[in-house]
C-alpha cells in the first residue's frame, strides 16, 4: 500500500480501519429490519453491499456509522464501538448519505470546509486548497458559492462525496453514491473510490445497485436479502454464480408480457 499523501490533517493513527459486524439485528417496532448480520471488513478493503431496496442496506450503514444502536449483536471499528463518543475522537469516518445530507444553511464551500474548520485542523489557506481540490476532483468547482437548494440531486451527491474527501477519513461509507448520476459521472465515482485506497489508505464500504461499479472495484461483494446476508464473495464468483437469486439480481430480464399488469386489468 502506498504511503498516505502529505496532509495538514494530522491524526495519531492514520491506518485504515477494520470493521467487524457480529450477529447484528435491528427491530423497528414489529419489523425486523436486520437479522443476524455478520461480516468482517479488512483494513484497506473495498467492500460492496448489494441488494434489493428495502433489504436494510442503509440501516446497516447507519449502524456502522454509530447513528443507530443495535437491538442485538455487536459491531466494532478497530475494536471500538461506533456509538461511544470516545470512538469518534480515535479515528474519522465519513458517511455519504443517500440524500447527500448537506447542511442547507451553508454554501457548498462552507459545507466542505466545515469539518477542518470546526476541528481546527488546517490553516485557512490549506482548507481552501483542500476544498477546491475536492471540488475539482468531482468537477463541481463552479458550484462552490451555491447553496444546496440550488443544486440538482446528482450535484448534491457529488458535493456530499467531496465533503467526505475533505475529511480524509480512515473509513468511508457510501450509500448508493452513483444513483442519480449519469453513467460517466458514475464511472468517475468508481474511479475515486478505487483511487482513494491508494492515496489516503482508506477502508470503503459501498452500498450500491450499480452492478458494473460493484463488480469492477469491489474486493468482495455481499448480497443482502430481507435484512440478511445472502452471500459474500469476490466479484469473480458472482459472475459465474448459478444461484437464481444472484443471477436474477445481476441480470434482471425485462419481460414486456409481465403478468403483473394482467391481474391489475382483470380486477379493474
Restricting to residues 114-143, name those near other proteins by CB under 8 A: 114-115, 118-120
Of other proteins, ligand ADP, Mg ion, none, which one does residue 56 interact with (CB within 5 to 8 Å by kind)? ligand ADP
Region from 56-64, 162-170, 209-217, 246-254 binding ligand ADP, contact rule CB under 6 A: 56-64
CB of 53 to ligand ADP, least distance (A): 4
How far is Cα 56 from Cα 28, in angstroms, rounded to an integer?
11
How far is Cα 67 from Cα 78, in angstroms, rounded to an integer?
17
How far is Cα 194 from Cα 16, in angstroms, rounded to an integer?
14
How far is Cα 223 from Cα 242, in angstroms, rounded to an integer?
14
Helix, coil or strand: residue 254: coil
Of residues 18, 6, 198, 206, the one with CA closest to residue 95: 206
Closer CB to ligand ADP, residue 21 or residue 166? Answer: 21
Compute the residue count for the chain.
268
Please pick, from the candidates 41, 48, 59, 213, the single residue that binds ligand ADP as defined by CB under 6 A. 59
Answer yes or no: are the C-beta atoms of 15 and 171 closer than 8 Å: no
Kind and range of the H or E run holding 37: strand 31-41
Please pick, from the candidates 33, 127, 160, 229, the single residue that binds ligand ADP as defined by CB under 6 A. 33
Closer CB to Mg ion, residue 25 or residue 58? Answer: 58
Please pick, from the candidates 58, 83, 179, 247, the single residue that binds ligand ADP as defined by CB under 6 A. 58
Chain positions contacting Mg ion, by CB under 5 A: 58
Q: How many CB atoms lie within 10 A of CB 36?
A: 14
Determine, following the binding rule CB under 8 A, whether residue 236 of this chain makes contact with other proteins. Answer: no
Closer CB to other proteins, residue 24 or residue 102? Answer: 102
Determine, following the binding rule CB under 8 A, whether residue 104 of this chain makes contact with other proteins. Answer: yes
Q: How many CB atoms lie within 10 A of CB 5?
A: 10
Restricting to residues 32-91, name those near other proteins by CB under 8 A: 62, 65-67, 88-89
Contact set with other proteins (CB under 8 A):
62, 65-67, 88-89, 92-95, 97, 99, 101-105, 114-115, 118-120, 167
Amino acid at each position: 500500500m502506498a504511503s498516505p499523501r502529505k496532509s495538514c490533517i494530522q491524526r495519531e493513527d492514520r491506518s485504515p480501519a477494520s470493521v467487524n459486524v457480529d450477529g447484528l439485528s435491528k427491530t423497528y417496532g414489529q419489523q425486523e429490519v436486520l437479522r443476524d448480520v455478520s461480516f468482517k471488513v479488512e483494513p484497506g478493503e473495498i467492500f460492496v453491499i448489494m441488494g434489493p431496496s428495502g433489504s436494510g442496506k442503509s440501516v446497516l450503514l447507519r449502524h456502522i456509522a454509530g447513528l443507530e444502536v443495535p437491538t442485538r449483536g455487536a459491531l466494532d471499528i478497530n475494536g471500538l464501538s461506533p456509538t461511544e463518543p470516545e470512538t469518534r475522537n480515535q479515528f474519522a469516518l465519513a458517511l455519504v448519505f443517500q440524500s447527500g445530507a448537506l447542511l442547507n444553511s451553508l454554501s457548498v464551500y462552507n459545507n466542505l470546509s466545515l469539518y477542518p474548520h470546526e476541528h481546527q485542523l488546517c490553516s485557512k489557506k490549506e482548507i481552501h486548497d483542500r476544498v477546491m481540490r475536492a471540488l475539482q476532483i468531482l468537477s463541481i468547482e463552479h458550484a462552490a458559492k451555491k447553496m444546496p437548494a440550488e443544486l440538482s440531486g446528482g450535484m448534491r451527491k457529488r458535493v456530499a462525496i467531496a465533503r467526505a474527501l475533505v475529511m480524509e477519513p480512515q473509513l468511508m461509507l457510501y450509500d448508493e453514491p452513483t444513483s442519480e448520476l449519469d453513467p460517466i459521472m458514475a464511472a468517475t465515482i468508481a474511479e475515486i473510490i478505487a483511487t482513494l485506497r491508494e492515496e489516503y489508505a482508506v477502508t470503503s464500504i459501498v452500498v450500491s445497485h450499480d452492478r458494473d461499479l460493484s463488480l469492477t472495484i469491489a474486493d468482495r461483494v455481499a448480497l443482502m436479502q430481507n435484512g440478511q446476508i445472502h452471500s459474500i464473495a469476490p466479484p469473480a464468483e458472482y459472475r459465474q454464480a448459478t444461484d437464481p437469486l444472484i443471477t436474477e439480481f445481476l441480470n434482471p430480464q425485462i419481460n414486456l408480457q409481465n403478468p403483473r399488469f394482467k391481474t391489475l386489468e382483470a380486477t379493474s
